[in-house]
Amino acid sequence: MSAAFDARVRAALGNPLLKIAIDRTTGTARTKRAAAMAAWPEFAEARVLGRDIKDHVIAHLDHYLIEFERNALASGARVHWARTGQEACDIVVKICQDAGARSVTRAKSMLGEEIGLPHALADAGIERVETDLAEHIIQLAGDPPSHIVWPALHKTREQVAALFRAHHTDPGAMETVEQMVASARRVLREKFMAADVGISGANFLVADTGAICTVTNEGNAELTTTPPRVHIVTAGIEKLVPTTSHAMALLRLLVRSATGAELTQYTTFHCGPKQSGDRDGPAEFHIVLVDAGRTKMLDDGLAEMLRCLRCGACLNHCVVYRQIGGHAYGATYPGPMGSVLTPALTNLADSVDLPRACTLNGQCEEVCPVAIPLPTLLRGWRDRSWREGLEPVPLRAGMRLWRFMVQRPALNRIGTNMALLAMRLFARRGWIRSMPLAGGWTAHRDFPAPQGPSFLTQIRSRGKQ
Amino acid sequence: MAQETDHTTRSSPHVGLFVTCLANAMRPSIGFAAITLLEAAGCRVEVPLDQTCCGQPALNSGDRHGAADVARRTIAVLERFDQVVVPSGSCAATIKVHYPELFDDDPVWKARAVALSRRTFELLSYLVDQRGWRPERICLQGNATYHDSCSGLRELGIAAQPRRLLADVEGLALRPLEGETTCCGFGGTFCVKYPSISNAIVAEKAQAIEATGAELLLGGDLGCLMNMAGKLHRNGSAVRVFHAAEILAGMGDGPAIGEVA
């Protein structure tokens, strides 16, 4: 385990409030998702359809990207192409500067986090106002998101109340969630109306209309994208779908998997800038299509990961995420999907703990609405780590010795018997409380002493009788 | 063994028992329970003496060449049997699900791996699905709860079979375990590579087990059972932990994991 990962894990496990916060949100999410799935007998078929839609688009990305661009341009949007996150940030900042923007509102977008857009805006001296309630919370706290659907999941409501009291002008009472939301609404409302540019992500890019789709439960995306003169969309190229009905098929999967609801409160298709006769809408509508490692994932055998809808179900059901939370992963995307994505989007050497720190229990794949074989992809990173020599030397040496032994039954028998003998020396009344080389186990649990001679030894001696 | 099996109406397959390296070393009683159950279900059981490990540690550590080496050896040892039975979901899944994947570039070994995969079964599901066997006159008074080990559950679809078998144990009541399909935090080498995370997971699992009020925890994978038993014991819990096969073989009055005979 790298020292940095170890330190983050320690910090997380040593924070009892974090565990309470994780359990509250992921527990509710699991319960609601389970209820939604129980009430949806066609889930299995819908999942196959969702998987096939995404696989089809990913296999024909070139076709749909060009179709999308053609239709977006026809709607009056401007389309920008970014090979890297840096290029995408540069494009966004340039658009903001050209618009003379001092203040931008932003609707939650994980892609924005991935490409470092908040930093890029800060570096350009542009005020950034996060409008998603949870993003607002973590902006006040100065934290990165800890979950892809609930970025402020690591904060308890008591901590949020304290933050609002400290940061909101005229905060008022903070006893109930309603009072807290009302206070945030007062603060954000002014910002919504004053912003020069609104920046959003996209849940879907619809190729045959050139529209983009956002889903929120707070309506903040609509308030982010409608009043300002300029709306900028940043979206990963894997967000393409052929038509609106394909987006609908995926929405059914996305929303139920994320929150257990049948649909989000707000599902909006944004198509082009304000037209003559429109009562509102941005004068300029920019779409930044971002690759940032996605086409490379196609070459690296990670095409299935490009199906991901960012629903967060794999995080909510992951035993590791549920103990350490999002920040311990040290990456934009935590949990199982993040542990597959992060080595692809950054590099394996710096993130090799992520695919390793997994029990391969398979619950993530089971709940994934587009059937991404997450454990298989995590194994793929382990295989690559082994091939590239990133596994620690003692492990490699131990594995070589083990392999030598298990290929030789007689030697293996002797080795097993010696190990059993050693264990019996450390055992007291059936249990071993500590033993050399077993600290990882016995630091936290007792190790049951072996019953006696090995099974094969007993079978052999029976055969000889 | 108490059961009488009607050999005249059932075929009598030659079954190789792959006991797993962990049960071989730590808990031979699981191997003996498996022999008892398989014989009761009408099988001719043989324990190949040159068996070692299925290779799962290499597979999960990313050492695919090492895993393939071990797999070739295990295939050679086991392929002569009509069927191979394994008292562990994760070791059975390694042979059944992962061995064929190891030989995508090697048609000869791929064919041998697939052939073995088709004839390899986890013990509890084998008894129900392949042999139609039910326990008779097995008694054990008490309350038990059952943990579904993840590989068996998700890679092999084992959930109903152990419960069906345990329901036929007279006097035994099964209590539902909150989060029974949630991993216990064992994860093979995971538990020693990331001990603090593993501990946090198993600590939560131990609480859920205690909350059932059951005196017994049963399961089908020794690794997971040792993990949970070790945590329960460290916590001072009185819950006793057995492999379900031991209970079904009438060994429930013997020592549980960590108890001295």
Report chain A residues whose CB lies below 8 A from the CB of B225: none
Put simply, the answer to whether B25 touches A453 (Cβ < 8 Å) is no
- Summarised one tens digit per residue, pLDDT across range A48-77 is 999 999 999 999 999 999 999 999 999 999
Report chain B residues whose CB lies below 8 A from the CB of A386: 61-64
Asked if residue B19 belongs to a domain, the reply is: yes
- Percentage of chain A beyond pLDDT 90 is 93
The β-bridge partners of A211 are: A206
Report chain B residues whose CB lies below 8 A from the CB of A391: 61-62
Does A395 lie at the interface with B, CB-CB under 8 angstroms? yes
Pair (B152, B216) in one structural domain? yes
Does B94 lie at the interface with A, CB-CB under 8 angstroms? no
A305-329 burial, b at 16+ Cβ within 10 Å, e below that, comes to: bbbbbbbbbbbbbbbbbbbbbbbbb
The residues in B 167-196 lying below 8 A from A, measured between CB atoms, are 181-183, 185-188, 190-196
Put simply, the answer to whether B195 touches A444 (Cβ < 8 Å) is yes
ipTM: 0.95
The β-bridge partners of A230 are: A197, A284
Put simply, the answer to whether B193 touches A357 (Cβ < 8 Å) is yes
Instruction: Give which of B21, B207, B242 to mutate to test A binding, by max A Cβ within 10 Å.
Output: B21
Which of A365, A383, A419 has its CB closest to that of B62?
A383
Angstrom distance (rounded) from CA A464 to CA B45: 17
Q: What is the DSSP letter of A229?
A: S
pTM of the model: 0.95
What is the domain range of residue B179? 135-248
A337-372 burial, b at 16+ Cβ within 10 Å, e below that, comes to: bbbbbbbbbbebeebbbbbbbbbbbbbbbbbbbbbb
Pair (B239, B160) in one structural domain? yes
Report chain A residues whose CB lies below 8 A from the CB of B69: 403, 407
Instruction: Assess whether pLDDT exceeds 60 at residue B10.
Output: no
Give the residue from B96, B114, B129 where a domain finishes.
B129
Report chain A residues whose CB lies below 8 A from the CB of B260: 429-430, 449
Pair (B96, B144) in one structural domain? no
Angstrom distance (rounded) from CA B129 to CA A201: 50
Put simply, the answer to whether B150 touches A362 (Cβ < 8 Å) is yes
Minimal CA–CA distance to A40: which of A217, A261, A248?
A261
Pair (B225, B192) in one structural domain? yes
- Summarised one tens digit per residue, pLDDT across range A322-359 is 999 999 999 999 999 999 999 999 999 999 999 999 99
Report chain B residues whose CB lies below 8 A from the CB of A1: 193-194
Pair (B23, B123) in one structural domain? yes
Q: Where are the beta strands (DSSP E) in A142-298?
A: 197-200, 204-206, 211-216, 230-236, 240-241, 266-270, 284-290
Question: Mind telling me how many Å the CA of A343 is from chain B's nearest CA?
Answer: 15
- Summarize the confidence of residues B218-224 as an average pLDDT: 98
Q: Find the residue in A nearest to B23 (Cα).
A: A455
Report chain B residues whose CB lies below 8 A from the CB of A448: 26-27, 226, 229-230, 233, 257-258
pLDDT band at B11 (very low <50, low <70, confident <90, very high): confident
Question: Mind telling me how many Å the CA of A439 is from chain B's nearest CA?
Answer: 8
Q: Find the residue in A nearest to B192 (Cα).
A: A440
Which of B29, B55, B190 has its CB closest to that of A359?
B190
Give the residue from B129, B159, B193 where a domain finishes.
B129
Instruction: Assess whether pLDDT exceeds 60 at residue B53.
Output: yes
A268-283 burial, b at 16+ Cβ within 10 Å, e below that, comes to: bebbbbbeeeeeebbe
Helix A409-426 crosses helix A455-464 at what angle (to 10 degrees)? Answer: 120
pLDDT of the residue at A169: 85
Does A420 lie at the interface with B, CB-CB under 8 angstroms? yes
Hey, where are the domains in chain A? 3-295, 394-464
Question: Which residues, including other chains, have CB under 8 Å from residue B118's CB and lie 6 or more apart?
Answer: none
Report chain B residues whose CB lies below 8 A from the CB of A449: 258, 260
- Summarised one tens digit per residue, pLDDT across range B109-152 is 999 999 999 999 999 999 999 999 999 999 999 999 999 999 99
Across chain B, mean pLDDT equals: 95
- Summarised one tens digit per residue, pLDDT across range A216-264 is 998 899 999 999 999 999 999 999 999 999 999 999 999 999 999 999 9
Gyration radius of chain A's alpha carbons: 26
Does A451 lie at the interface with B, CB-CB under 8 angstroms? yes
Instruction: Assess whether pLDDT exceeds 60 at residue B1.
Output: no
pLDDT band at A182 (very low <50, low <70, confident <90, very high): very high
What is the DSSP code string of B92-106?
HHIIIIIHHHHTTT-
Put simply, the answer to whether B183 touches A361 (Cβ < 8 Å) is yes
Instruction: Please give the CATH architecture assigned to the domain spanning A3-295.
Output: 3-Layer(aba) Sandwich (3.40)
Put simply, the answer to whether A412 touches B52 (Cβ < 8 Å) is yes
Question: Mind telling me how many Å the CA of B161 is from chain A's nearest CA?
Answer: 19
Put simply, the answer to whether B31 touches A359 (Cβ < 8 Å) is no
A58-79 burial, b at 16+ Cβ within 10 Å, e below that, comes to: beebeebbebbbebbeebebeb
Question: Which residues, including other chains, have CB under 8 Å from residue A122's CB and lie 6 or more apart?
Answer: A128
Q: Please say whether the beta carbons of B121 and B34 come within 8 A.
A: no
Question: Mind telling me how many Å the CA of B240 is from chain A's nearest CA?
Answer: 12
Does A415 lie at the interface with B, CB-CB under 8 angstroms? no
Put simply, the answer to whether B194 touches A357 (Cβ < 8 Å) is yes
- Summarize the confidence of residues B73-89 as an average pLDDT: 98
Asked if residue B9 belongs to a domain, the reply is: no
pLDDT band at A173 (very low <50, low <70, confident <90, very high): confident
Question: Which residues, including other chains, have CB under 8 Å from residue A241's CB and lie 6 or more apart?
Answer: A53, A57, A204, A205, A206, A207, A247, A250
CA separation, residue A88 to residues A92, A137, A233, A286, A292 (Å) = 6, 25, 11, 12, 9
Instruction: Assess whether pLDDT exceeds 50 at residue B8.
Output: no
The residues in B 207-226 lying below 8 A from A, measured between CB atoms, are 226
pLDDT of the residue at A13: 98
Instruction: Assess whether pLDDT exceeds 60 at residue B5.
Output: no
Put simply, the answer to whether B234 touches A444 (Cβ < 8 Å) is yes
Asked if residue B1 belongs to a domain, the reply is: no
Q: Find the residue in A nearest to B20 (Cα).
A: A455
Does B57 lie at the interface with A, CB-CB under 8 angstroms? yes
Minimal CA–CA distance to A107: which of A256, A259, A231?
A231
Report chain B residues whose CB lies below 8 A from the CB of A378: none
Does B64 lie at the interface with A, CB-CB under 8 angstroms? yes
Both ends of chain B: CA-CA distance in Å? Answer: 20
3-state secondary structure of A65: helix
B251: Cα within 13 Å, side-chain hemisphere: 23
pLDDT of the residue at A465: 62
Across chain A, mean pLDDT equals: 95
| The total number of residues written for chain A in this structure | 465
Put simply, the answer to whether B64 touches A386 (Cβ < 8 Å) is yes
Put simply, the answer to whether A451 touches B200 (Cβ < 8 Å) is no
Instruction: Assess whether pLDDT exceeds 70 at residue B13.
Output: yes
Pair (B147, B201) in one structural domain? yes
Put simply, the answer to whether B231 touches A445 (Cβ < 8 Å) is yes
Instruction: Assess whether pLDDT exceeds 50 at residue B9.
Output: no
Q: Which residue in the block uniquely carries the two structure tokens 């919370």? A: A137
Q: Find the residue in B nearest to A433 (Cα).
A: B234
- Summarize the confidence of residues B195-217 as an average pLDDT: 98
Total domains in chain B come to 2
Element (H, E) at B59: helix B56-61
CATH of the domain at B166: 3.40.50.1860
Give the residue from B80, B98, B129 where a domain finishes.
B129
Report chain A residues whose CB lies below 8 A from the CB of B32: 455
Pair (B123, B146) in one structural domain? no
Q: Where are the alpha helices (DSSP H) in A352-454?
A: 353-356, 363-367, 374-387, 393-406, 409-426, 439-442
The residues in A 354-393 lying below 8 A from B, measured between CB atoms, are 356-363, 365-366, 379, 381-387, 391
Asked if residue B39 belongs to a domain, the reply is: yes
